[in-house]
Amino acid sequence: MQAHLILIDAMNLIRRIYAVQERPFLLLDELSEKTKQQIIHNTKVAATSAIAKMLKELNPTHALAVFDSKLPCWRYQLYPDYKKGRKQMPEHLANSLADIQDSFLEIGIDSLESEQDEADDLIATLAIKVALHGQQTTIVSTDKGFLSLLSPHVQVYDYFKKSYLDEAYVQKKFDVKSSQLTDFWTLTGDTTNKIPGVTGIGPVTASELLKQYGSLTAILAATDLKKTIANKFKDMELQIQLSQQLLTLKKDIPLGFNLKDIRIHVESEHIN
The more confidently predicted of residues 272 and 127 is 127
User: Kind of pairing, strands 154-158 and 163-164?
Assistant: antiparallel
265: pLDDT confidence band, cut at 50, 70 and 90?
very low
* Per-residue pLDDT tens digits for 104-144: 999 999 999 888 889 999 999 999 999 999 999 999 999 99
Evaluate if residue 269 carries a pLDDT over 50.
no
* Per-residue pLDDT tens digits for 203-257: 999 999 999 999 999 999 999 999 999 998 988 999 999 999 999 999 999 888 8
**What are the Cα distances from residue 118, in Å, to 8, 20, 191, 214?**
13, 24, 18, 29
For position 55, what pLDDT does the model report?
95
Which range has highest mean pLDDT (24-28, 45-49, 198-202)?
45-49
For position 260, what pLDDT does the model report?
83
Is the Cβ–Cβ distance between 121 and 114 less than 8 Å?
A: yes
Instruction: Please name which of 61, 67, 71, 94 lies closest in space to residue 13, comparing C-alpha atoms.
Output: 67
Q: Please give the Cα distance from 119 to 15 (Å, whole number).
A: 14
Burial class (CB in 10 A: 0-12, 13-18, 19+), 17: buried
- Domains of the chain, first to last: 4-169+250-262 (3.40.50.1010), 175-247 (1.10.150.20)
* Per-residue pLDDT tens digits for 27-82: 888 889 999 999 999 999 999 999 999 999 999 999 999 999 888 899 999 999 99
Evaluate if residue 1 carries a pLDDT over 80.
no
For position 267, what pLDDT does the model report?
40
